[in-house]
């Protein structure tokens, strides 16, 4: 099956006064339609930068992103191209305030999106009902007339997810999108995302630190460290038989039942792990 999303040799450098910082370098992977791919790695690994490059919010220094075989390097020209790009790719940021207008109620913001895309979605006469449906789907029933400032952090994140889902995109980019949600709501959102993938063929690119979420939602995993891909493959293989030492370290860092931190003994020059000493 042809890849819906292709990332090839993606590199992003930010210029400083006398130097530059490389946020990601030579990142390459593919995602097929209806597939869920996880980008995992420690903070600062370059995951969010890759997501912003895919969304077209920033332009790569080198490399390219292909959507259905077409490059996304050029910025959309005119209203028609902008709407087409928005219908193809939507992003849910870590900070929901980046996409919520503080002057608008949650319902008004969703209704505005639905009107903009009414011709493609075919729901022009049912905007109010669709707004209510979206809010109910993400666990915010009855809050259409509420402004973002009156919502909790988790509620704002759910409102941001509703905005991304409103236009029914082909690719949904989620940058730690469920990290701020409590366990019950997180489960609800993950089930919703799984349904979208299975029923509508929505492609997911999921940035997360939570390997339990990866196991539950994703089929493919890309592990990043220092801006580079160090390992990639099916989730089942990555989580059970990692090949790269860094991937193994990530898995070892996840607390398990019965796990306790090792006691240490400090000497004048070193700290020896008691559990590592052998007679």
Q: How far is CA 180 from CA 41, 82, 146, 176, 229, in A?
A: 18, 30, 20, 8, 26
Of 80-94, 158-172, 194-208, 212-226, the poorest mean pLDDT is in 80-94
Which is more confidently placed, 2 or 206?
A: 206
pLDDT at 260: 64
Of 164-173, 189-198, 226-235, 261-270, the poorest mean pLDDT is in 261-270
Q: Report how far residue 12's alpha carbon sits from residue 46's, in angstroms, rounded to the nearest whole number.
A: 9
Domain chopping of the chain, boundaries:
3-99+168-276
Band of residue 88 on the pLDDT scale cut at 50, 70, 90: confident
pLDDT at 147 over 80: yes
Of 139-148, 182-191, 206-215, the poorest mean pLDDT is in 182-191
pLDDT at 68 over 50: yes
pLDDT at 172: 93
Q: How far is CA 167 from CA 80, 146, 164, 246, in A?
A: 14, 21, 7, 38
pLDDT digits (tens, 9 = 90+) for 14-67: 988 888 899 999 999 999 999 999 999 988 899 999 999 998 888 899 999 998
Which of 249, 160, 172, 243 has its CA nearest to residue 207? 172
Of 98-102, 140-144, 226-230, the poorest mean pLDDT is in 98-102
pLDDT at 37: 95
Q: Quick one: average pLDDT of 131-137?
A: 91
pLDDT at 213: 85
On whether the 3-99+168-276 domain is CATH 3.40.50.720, my answer is no
């Amino acid at each position: 099956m042809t890849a819906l999303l292709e990332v090839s040799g993606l590199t992003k450098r930010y210029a400083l006064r006398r130097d530059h910082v490389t946020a990601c370098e030579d990142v390459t992977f593919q995602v097929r339609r209806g597939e869920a791919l996880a980008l995992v790695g420690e903070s600062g690994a370059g995951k969010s930068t890759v997501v912003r490059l895919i969304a077209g919010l920033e332009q790569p220094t080198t490399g390219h992103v292909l959507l259905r075989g077409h490059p996304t390097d050029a910025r959309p020209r005119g209203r028609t191209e902008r709407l087409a790009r928005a219908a193809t790719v939507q992003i849910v940021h870590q900070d929901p305030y980046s996409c919520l207008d503080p002057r608008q109620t949650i319902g008004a913001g969703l209704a505005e999106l639905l009107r903009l895309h009414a011709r493609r979605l075919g729901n022009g006469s049912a905007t109010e009902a669709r707004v209510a449906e979206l809010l109910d789907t993400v666990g915010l029933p009855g809050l259409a007339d509420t402004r973002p400032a009156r919502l909790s952090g988790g509620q704002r994140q759910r409102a941001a997810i509703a905005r991304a889902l409103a236009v029914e995109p082909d690719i949904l980019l989620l940058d730690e999108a469920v990290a701020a949600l409590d366990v019950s709501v997180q489960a609800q959102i993950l089930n919703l995302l799984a349904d979208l993938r299975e029923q509508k063929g929505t492609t997911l690119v999921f940035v997360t630190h939570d390997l339990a979420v990866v196991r539950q939602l994703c089929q493919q995993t890309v592990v990043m460290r220092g801006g580079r891909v160090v390992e990639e493959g099916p989730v089942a293989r990555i989580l059970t038989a990692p090949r790269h030492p860094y991937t193994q370290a990530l898995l070892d860092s996840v607390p398990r039942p019965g796990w306790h931190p090792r006691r240490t003994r400090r000497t004048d020059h070193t700290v020896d792990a008691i559990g590592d000493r052998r007679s």
